[in-house]
Structure 1
């Protein structure tokens, strides 16, 4: 007669529950962010991600295909989060230049800080691939156009030119990463970006 109690035997024989594809994808994305946070972007590979997630390599390859595919998925998630934060803030903002500039500045900085220093590693890795760099640039163009649409009513008869918008984006990236690295505070980053945005719009209105 077996010495194993029926309830314990049932637990032993019960197969491990398989995750849905969506749940597995979420698990892998979370594990990838954590891996980058702890070990840096250089440590990120599909094999390392499989090992960390305690699953086989083919499962990870099925979700992302290549390391570039994984990097692209991580950046798209960051961009979607940033867009959602900015869009939600715009819905409740006042129709003033100060309000719109505050939303752009705070949303950008807050999203980078929420993601942590790992996003700078992701962006640096994207620069190593022409295909990924084009993808990043496409998302940047969308962001710039959103900012132009939000700020255009305050430029009078003038037009907010692309050079100023690209300069604004460059400042947003540099200030946000400086804040994420602890070189400046989040408030300093937001205030400086706010001043940059307002100056750009006021210059366009002349």
Structure 2
């Protein structure tokens, strides 16, 4: 789960002088997430973000360029954060093979069919943008990397073969998840099928 920003106790302009560019970008993204949660995506403009973060408008524009750039950055950041949280949590626990596969299938399908969270809301706001297709491919590539990281300790496949199979698994996961979203298959059935496919591939 992505952490919500804590209330700033110092003036935003003075805080800006103490943050690196990477730290400032992270602070702006956390604040943008808070805006989406509390006020909705329609309120997420660079001007409003700057006001909420306690920085000048040029700072926000310097990081994201325009509203579309902000939405894309936030969309990628939310997905990266939740993938990293899941992967790192799973790897730190070092579960048995069967448990790792089941958790991976459950988490992937669960995220793909969740239409109530901020990720879906920001994605809907990006609908029709020219950049969204490229962003989605980048997120799929991240998902493949996560599958490789999670499944690697539980199989003896060469790295290249594991990556190719992970590409196929991510594609299958997307197709199965779409069946849930269309209402033609249940989430439980799809998750069970996906777990079996993962086990069979490694």
- Quick one: distance in 1 between partners of 2:65 and 2:80? 21
Say if 1:24 and 1:123 are closer, same or farther in 2 by CA, change over 3 A: same
Instruction: Judge conservation of contact 2:143–2:170 (CA < 8 Å) in 1.
Output: no
Deviations 1:100-151 (A, max 9, x none): 32221344477789xx711101222333222232122122133136437829
- Partner of 1:78 in structure 2? 78
| 1:59-78 alpha-carbon deviations (Å, 9 max, x no partner) | 11012112222122212322
1:166 paired with 2:171, answer yes
**Which TM-score applies when normalising by structure 1?**
0.63
Aligned positions, number: 175
1:172, distance to aligned residue in structure 2 (A): 4.7
Query: Quick one: structure 1 residues 161 and 76, their matched pair in 2 at CA, closer, same or farther if it must change by over 3 Å?
Result: closer
Is residue 138 of structure 2 the alignment partner of residue 133 of structure 1? no
| Correspondence for 2:197 | 200
Contact kept in structure 2, 1:36 and 1:118, CA below 8 Å: yes
CA RMSD of aligned residues (A): 4.1
Counterpart for residue 50 of structure 2: 50
- The answer to whether the 8 A contact 2:41-2:121 is kept is yes
The CA deviation string for residues 153-180 of structure 1, in whole angstroms up to 9 with x for no partner, is 599xxx95966642413545886x9xxx
Is this contact kept in 2: 1:68–1:132, CA < 8 A?
A: no
Q: Look at both structures and tell me which one has the larger radius of gyration over its CA atoms.
A: 1
Query: Which sections of structure 1, spanning at least 5 residues, go unmatched?
Result: 1-15, 178-187
Quote the Cα distance in structure 2 between the aligned partners of 1:35 and 1:52: 8
Partner residue in 1 for 2:123: 123
| CA separation of 1:29 and 1:36: change in aligned 2, threshold 3 A | same
Q: TM-score, normalised by structure 2?
A: 0.64
Distance 1:163 1:84, change over 3 A: closer
5+ residue gaps, structure 2, are 1-12, 158-163
Cα offset, 1:40, TM superposition: 1.9
Distance 1:102 1:77, change over 3 A: same
Q: Is the 8 A contact 2:108 2:173 kept in 1?
A: no
Against the structure 1 CA distance between its residues 112 and 39, is the aligned structure 2 distance closer, same or farther, given a 3 Å change threshold? Answer: farther
